[in-house]
Amino acid sequence: MLIRRLIPGLIPGLILGCCALIMTCSLQAQIQIEADLPALRRGTYTDSALWHQVAEFCDAYPRRLSGTTVLEEGLDWISARMQQQGWSVRTQPVMVPTWIRGAESLRMLSAPSRPLPMMGLGGSVGTNGTPIKAEVLVVRSFEELDARGAEARGKIVVWNVPFTTYGETVQYRYGGASAAAAHGAVASLTRSVGPYGMQTPHTGGMGYREDVQKIPSAAITMEDAMLMQRMQDRGQSIELELMMEARSAEDRPSRNIIIEIPGSEHPEEVVVMGGHIDAWDVGTGAMDDASGCFVTWHALNAIKGLGKQPKRTIRVCFWTNEENGLRGGKAYADLTAHEQHVLAMEVDGGTFQPVGFSGSVEGSLKADVEALLQAGITTSPKPPTLVQGGGGADTGPLRARGVPVIELVVDTSKYFWYHHTEADTPDKLDPRELNDCAYAMAVMAWGIANR
């Protein structure tokens, strides 16, 4: 009875005491993290060293499509460099799909006859050794194709869809072939997904429905898509000749690469960050996504340079096969299912001026992420923001298991100019902005690992 009488009076004091203790611990952690920021900045702002490392790798190992020798040789190079820096490197075996482009061409047979720039889309079938010659139907949407479906039979459907957002426009690249085949088309050509063109086609992944015939699918330039739209609007007949040797082969072995700093208090709790190291078989994949990988590697080097262990494990993973299969992200989620991931962070939207993060975080973790954003993780004149939703492709399998995920958001005003093209080369990157991205990732990883 005495205890029951005392409890009502004890509870408010206990609550106040616990709150004070929590606030004191949080304040001490915040002060410690803020004290480490100058050292993290010094560790990430190493003039143009990061840029030169990205350029050296991309110049030596371009066109890193899954299943290619050049990708695996590039992974060997990275592992050797990491070991030279003193990292203990481990790998995760991953079987990846293999798509081979082969020779390809597109020619306009209608006057004025001439070759047109094009790129087969990853996963497409070829033309079975014989060029396809057919007239063209140009449409601006799935709805227009459905309305004019009878006109598509035996023709090449050209999707002249202007760029709005990547997520909205890319559906025509991915699903355009099956939509066209459902109406009897013999091939599908998609206007390159991007807001700006200089007669440069953009490749990327596509897929097929099981209930319709697989037809060849390729990307053409935005200029040629608009040209054919104008010709059709004038009532002119358009005939094209398409040849593609594209084919798929058996899966081949690849691997994820992992380095980490074990946690001092909770090593079983993991903060992982990374990007995908594979690329398309055009350009060098500097923006998409070698620089994203190297930014997180640079961030972990800066954290290591503090000379302190984080409370939780901080890990960097270079995922393989994001572009045409996402096998690396899926394998990572499967092979680490026994671990507790506190947060998964990805850099796969370019490495231009960082402006914040997007992702799926809630509660106290969301508050901590927002607090770290306010610590000044970017040199952008605008305050950094956390946008709810998304969080990255390779971290998607982790998100499906309930792991909070965020992705670095940068100024993408020019990113989709070069995305999946021959023009994705290191010269598009700015050394200062790369360092900014590395600093943002270092601060976020260090802060969350010590929260």
The phi, psi pair for 348, rounded to 5°, reads -150, 40
Opening angle at CA 270, ends 252 and 26, nearest 5: 155
**Is 322 assigned a catalytic role?**
yes
Instruction: Judge contact between 278 and 66, C-beta under 8 A.
Output: yes
DSSP, res 382:
S
pTM over 0.85: yes
User: Given phi > 0 = left and psi -120 to 50 = alpha, else beta, which region is 376?
Assistant: left
User: What one-letter code names the amino acid at 306?
Assistant: L
Cα distance between residue 68 and residue 64, in whole Å: 7
pLDDT values of the chain reduced to their tens digit, one per residue, 451 residues: 333 333 344 333 433 343 433 333 454 446 567 889 999 999 999 999 999 999 999 999 999 999 999 999 999 999 999 999 999 999 999 999 999 999 999 999 988 899 999 999 999 999 999 999 999 999 999 999 999 999 999 999 999 999 999 999 999 999 999 999 999 999 999 999 999 999 999 999 999 999 999 999 999 999 999 999 999 999 999 999 999 999 999 999 999 999 999 999 999 999 999 999 999 999 999 999 999 999 999 999 999 999 999 999 999 999 999 999 999 999 999 999 999 999 999 999 999 999 999 999 999 999 999 999 988 776 667 788 999 998 899 999 999 999 999 999 999 999 999 999 999 999 999 999 999 999 999 999 999 999 8
Selecting among 72, 260, 322, 407, the annotated active-site residue is: 322
28-51: per-residue pLDDT in tens?
446 567 889 999 999 999 999 999
User: What one-letter code names the amino acid at 58?
Assistant: C
* Domains present along the chain, CATH in parentheses: 36-98+250-449 (3.40.630.10), 102-245 (3.50.30.30)
Q: Which two tokens stand for residue 311?
A: 């409370």
User: Given phi > 0 = left and psi -120 to 50 = alpha, else beta, which region is 93?
Assistant: beta
Instruction: Judge contact between 409 and 440, C-beta under 8 A.
Output: no
